[in-house]
Structure 1
Amino acid sequence: MKKPAHGPSIYYATDKNVFDALSQHRVDLATVRQLFADRNVLVSRHTDKSELARYFSRLVHDFQDHERIAGRLGVASRREKVTALEIATPLKVEQIESAIAAVRIELERDGDVVQVTKNGSDVTVVVQYSLVDYAKTEFKQVQHRDGVVQFIKEGDSYIVRNSQNDYVNNVREAFLACVEKRNSLTLDRRVVSLYDVVVPSLRSEFFYKLIHGLEGMGKYDVTELYVYRSTPDEPEADDEISDDNTTTGDADGDSRIERIALRGKGVEQSDELRDIISKSADFYTIRTVWMVREAMGEGHVFELDAHFDNPADCTGFSYLVRGVYPCEGGLVTRKRRSPRPDEVERLSSLIEKASKKYADEIWAKSTTPKT
């Protein structure tokens, strides 16, 4: 798998770049003082940060200075959505390990760091890689990220779960292609998709079933709902779903709303949503953020996010376990915490099973001839 070539960068950090970077609020006074301390220069506790930044920017800077400043200003990584596919073709864990070992050599040759762990028949690959964007300012050009690809044994099948982005998707495909090549077989891949379902109401029904149908969970609330209407001559869809209403106009000047975002409480039952659907049957749901509560156990509330990356075709299904609202003394707290790994694993499995089940049901319903 060939890593995209970057650079060389046409930028370098000038004195103005350094001054502007040190003046930002994300670089605190302690960091600026440490830059001077590393040069064995003492500064007064009463000296203003802007004065220190102005003085330091006129000095000669080395790689370590730039790395320390970039560490403060770099793009903060956030938890990415997860996508999954099922490999119905029977595989042995040794076949997967052999393919991973072969692709790993190429990844590490391109500068990535690859860690592989095995637990029985399950294999997890963590890829530490860098993305370079020269359109950003000098200290934000390099983004260091971790991508995860999991091979989870489930009966006679394997579930391949990975971070949803182009780079990690390509890494996953490199693993699977290597399995096919080394074993002279074609893998039977099954993904959650509504590509063949053209009726808008059925596409919305998929999300309705998903919201209410996680095993052992009850719907607690629906806080966000995104509806979409494709256009006949639609340009290529954006990677990110806009959080704002999007309106386009045709050559005659007529306006047309393509995307609408609804936020609040119980939005799936709101009058606004009914009004949208009643006025245009072309709208359908492409993303939802909702909460579910454990029917048994501690009764925690989990906030979930699911959507199709390609809204026009309803392909590229992905999801995220956003957070947990713990139940304490029988009451759900308002303070959200990050989910634990075991909670992410449990909710991920529930979403994957439910999404496959309901996608199959919707597809069968769309192909059933009306009597």
Structure 2
Amino acid sequence: MAMTDFLDHLSANDNDIYDLLISGKQKLTSSVLRELARDRGILYSPEDSREELADKISLLPHDFHDISGIVQKREPAHRREKSTFVRINSVLTVEEMKEAAAAYSVLSGPNETVTHRPKGGSGYNVNLVYDEFNHTRTRLLQRERREATIDFSIENEQTVIRLPASDKAKAVVAAIKDAVEKKRKEKLVEEKIELSGLTTPSLRSKFFTRLVSSLEDYKLKNVMNLKVSSLQRGDDQDEDGLDIEDDLGESAEKAMFAAVVHSMSLSGQNLVQSQEYKELTSRGFFITAITWRSEHEREPNDIVQFDAGFEDRKAGTGFKYQVQGVYRAHKGAHRKTMVHTDDLERTKLLSLLENTAKKVLAELLDESNATTTSEPEEQP
């Protein structure tokens, strides 16, 4: 490698800094860019456009701390990753989990830190801090410091593993599971939420409509967003995401999806009786992800915003979900700002979501089996 290439690898030139400034439109607004300049004692004209400000600032000298400050302003506020879970039909002991986690820790990479410890009487916790590279981003943002917490808990004589829905976390769980299997000299049977056994669009969508309306002690309040797909579409087609606050355009599909959203918000499971829903499923469309709000029917009557979907929308595999936040009840109404839950509340809500998904899937598989052994498929 030439010396100039080596220095370019370690430093940020004006083009890199410009790309960094200009790519963060939502966070690095014109007012923020002027603030960066004022911190250096420089006042730019209020007539300067955002592009002109970014160009001028990029030409100024920047040290490491300057760049770090811009990156911090540029990056969006921390969002919790979506979660997934694996249920193993066997009880893993604390000692087994400790040995497997320690074995993984020894083999972990140089840019990875692994800590692990018992949690409660029978659970275990594994925490990862690692570097992840995203080469589609501007050069100064390609390296991301990530953190993942993996929780092992014993519930109903089974081991439930909750983890971020990321490739890294899944690889760690697979390594730990493999280590336990080698120690036991037997295969651990996994139980996952997958829709591969639901072969019709109607049944696929019913999974979501029942999920949002079957949470114990919660009442469906509103559906915020839907994603849909079709078995007739090519794999390179993107999902259609619907936000009821956005302009839905003029397509027939989007008009139907809008009707689905509003009907679901009002009637929950009764949605399946609507003409729009029947037409939607008859054309091969089905729901693949959903964001919704449910209100707790007991005190406190908080409103929780959930999200659930599948990584592989057509195969119905890779179930991932999230508690996005809570609108706290206050004096007969609700706060206007959504706040994060603490770890204990979040764990309870995730467990509720997991158990409801498991129950709904079992019901639909039974219905599907009953249908195939009797009359033609039931109408939605």
TM range (shorter): 0.7 to 0.9
Match of 2:364 among 354, 359, 362: 362
Mapped partners of 2:278, 2:320: distance in 1: 25
Corresponding position of 2:342: 340
Does 2:93 correspond to 1:92? yes
**2:241 aligns to what SS in structure 1?**
coil
Match of 2:241 among 240, 243, 247: 243
Change (3 A) 1:220 1:244: closer
Mapped partners of 1:208, 1:342: distance in 2: 27
Corresponding position of 2:155: 154
Contact 1:306 1:319 in 2 (8 A): yes
Contact 1:204 1:286 in 2 (8 A): yes
For residues 293-319 of structure 1, give each alpha carbon's deviation from its aligned partner in whole angstroms, at most 9, with x where no partner exists. 222221111111111221111111111
Corresponding position of 1:18: 17
State the Cα distance separating 1:198 from its structure 2 match. 0.5
Contact 1:309 1:318 in 2 (8 A): yes
Change (3 A) 1:296 1:10: same
Change (3 A) 1:158 1:260: farther
State the Cα distance separating 1:322 from its structure 2 match. 1.2
Within 5 Å, give how 1:272-287 maps onto structure 2.
Answer: 274-275=275-276, 277-278=278-279, 280-281=281-282, 282-287=284-289
Change (3 A) 1:75 1:307: same
Structure 1 segments, 4+ long, off by >6 Å, are: 7-11, 47-56, 255-260, 270-273
Within 5 Å, give how 1:288-307 maps onto structure 2.
Answer: 288-307=290-309
Within 5 Å, give how 1:99-118 maps onto structure 2.
Answer: 99-107=100-108, 109-118=109-118
Within 5 Å, give how 1:182-331 maps onto structure 2.
Answer: 182-231=183-232, 234-235=234-235, 241-243=239-241, 262=258, 265-267=262-264, 269=267, 274-275=275-276, 277-278=278-279, 280-281=281-282, 282-331=284-333
TM-score relative to the length of structure 2: 0.78
Contact 1:77 1:145 in 2 (8 A): no
Query: Residue type of the partner of 1:318?
Result: K
For residues 310-347 of structure 1, give each alpha carbon's deviation from its aligned partner in whole angstroms, at most 9, with x where no partner exists. 11111111111111111112223333222222221111
Query: Residue type of the partner of 1:17?
Result: D
Give the structure with the larger helix fraction. 2
State the Cα distance separating 1:100 from its structure 2 match. 0.6
Change (3 A) 1:275 1:242: closer
Mapped partners of 2:199, 2:291: distance in 1: 23
Query: Residue type of the partner of 2:206?
Result: E
Corresponding position of 1:166: 167
State the Cα distance separating 1:224 from its structure 2 match. 2.5
TM-score relative to the length of structure 1: 0.79
For residues 75-131 of structure 1, give each alpha carbon's deviation from its aligned partner in whole angstroms, at most 9, with x where no partner exists. 654211111110002321210111011111222x33112232322211122212222
Corresponding position of 1:252: none
Contact 1:308 1:316 in 2 (8 A): yes
State the Cα distance separating 1:55 from its structure 2 match. 7.7
For residues 165-185 of structure 1, give each alpha carbon's deviation from its aligned partner in whole angstroms, at most 9, with x where no partner exists. 222211221221122123222
Most deviating of 184-193 and 324-333: 324-333
Corresponding position of 1:250: none
Change (3 A) 1:266 1:338: farther
Change (3 A) 1:285 1:74: closer
Change (3 A) 1:19 1:312: closer
**2:224 aligns to what SS in structure 1?**
strand
Count of residues in correspondence between the two structures: 344
**2:235 aligns to what SS in structure 1?**
coil
Q: Unpaired runs of 5+ in structure 1?
A: 1-6, 37-42, 246-254
Contact 1:228 1:258 in 2 (8 A): no
Corresponding position of 1:82: 83
Match of 2:351 among 349, 352, 356: 349
Corresponding position of 1:248: none
For residues 224-270 of structure 1, give each alpha carbon's deviation from its aligned partner in whole angstroms, at most 9, with x where no partner exists. 233321127x33676xx55269xxxxxxxxx9969986496554557
Most deviating of 207-216 and 7-16: 7-16
Query: Residue type of the partner of 1:164?
Result: A
Mapped partners of 1:359, 1:296: distance in 2: 26
Q: Unpaired runs of 5+ in structure 2?
A: 1-5, 244-250, 376-380
Change (3 A) 1:73 1:9: farther
